Amino acid sequence: MITIKTESELDLIRKSAEILRECFHGIAGMIRPGMTTGELDRFAEEFIRSGEAVPAFKGYMGYPASLCASVNEQVVHGIPGPRELEEGDIVGIDMGVLREGFYADATRTYPVGEVSEEARRLLDVTWEALELGIDKVRAGNHLSDISHVIQAHAESHGYSVVRALVGHGIGRRMHEEPQIPNFGPPGQGPVLKVGMVLAIEPMINTGSHEVLTLKDNWTFVTVDGGLSCHFEDTVAVTDDGPEIMTR
Ligand code: MF3
Ligand code: CO
């Protein structure tokens, strides 16, 4: 069942999303060569807790940190630690906030210093794919209209879309129905209704769409070592179209 949020529930998600936005603002200012992903994690945990909220990922299915930091060929769920960011890396920072019973979830992928033309292009195309997907978050559209535009945009630039991981509904739980694949034909799946809240999260690779997990049992990487990029926003279906709560 896809839950429909009341206006007061939407307000609570907006508040979680506001803390998340401010946390990303801090993270964005810290990204530079030499910074460790563990330092970013400590900042996020303190920042979120000081907002009387909880870092949603910490302890989720045993996950050990407050954010995921996925570098270069890492797709998602990289565990922060002593690794130093290097000039030319791209790093996906995925964070979730839980406050007063409601979740918000978002991801930004940052360039570290100067990055290659290839990396820059991948960041741009993945962001555009998210924008196109969000534009389909409208009452009366089918869920897979989102999936389809994301895939079409990525593939028209020669990239591939990760199949093994999907977006999701969000609210009182971090992962609610429906699952939102980033690929597929348009016009399928449930019809979107005002009050639904969706986490749209394209994961796009320069090479093969296939992924595997490292021995830490969390980090997903591309099978061929190609670059991967991930952006995510929490978006509500409103009478006036998509409301991007995490911006
Ligand atoms: N943000 C991820 C998602 O969108 C969830 C991360 S799960 C964690 O589904 F355990 F790594 F935190
Ligand atoms: Co998510």
Task: Output the average pLDDT for the chain.
Answer: 98
Q: Distance between the two ends of the chain, CA-based, in angstroms? A: 27
**Protein residues within 5 Å, CB atom, of ion ligand 2:** 105, 199
Beta-sheet strands, E only, within the chain: 54-55, 67-71, 74-76, 90-99, 102-111, 160-161, 167-169, 176-180, 197-200, 203-205, 211-213, 220-222, 228-230, 233-238, 241-244
The token duo for 182 is 């980033």
State the closest ligand 1 atom to the C-alpha of 63, by its place in the atom list counted from 1: 10
Q: What is the CATH classification number for the domain harbouring 217? A: 3.90.230.10
Q: Tens digit of pLDDT for each residue in 177-228? A: 999 999 999 999 999 999 999 999 999 999 999 999 999 999 999 999 999 9
Note the pLDDT tens digit of each residue in 29-88.
999 999 999 999 999 999 999 999 999 999 999 999 999 999 999 999 999 999 999 999
Q: For 30-39, write each residue's pLDDT tens digit.
A: 999 999 999 9
What is the tally of structural domains in the chain?
A: 1
**What is the residue with the minimal CA distance to atom 5 of ligand 1?**
57
Burial of 196 (0-12, 13-18, 19+ CB in 10 A): buried
Residue 103 included in any domain:
yes
Residues 6+ apart with CB under 8 A from 59: none
How many Å apart are CA 107 and CA 95, to the nearest integer?
A: 6
Cα(237)–Cα(137) distance, integer angstroms: 6
Residue 33 lies in a domain: yes
pTM of the shown model: 0.98
Cα 43 to Cα 93: distance, rounded to the nearest angstrom: 13
Asked if residue 23 is part of any domain, the answer here is yes
**86 occurs within a structural domain:** yes
- Domain span at residue 34? 7-244
Would residue 2 count as lying in a domain? Answer: no
Give 77 Cα–ligand 1 centroid separation in angstroms. Answer: 7
Residue 1 lies in a domain: no
* Cβ-contact 147, 184 below 8 angstroms: yes
pLDDT at residue number 225:
98
Among 23, 24, 48, 60, the mutation site with the greatest number of ligand 1 atoms within 8 A of its Cβ is 60
Mean pLDDT of 130-134: 99
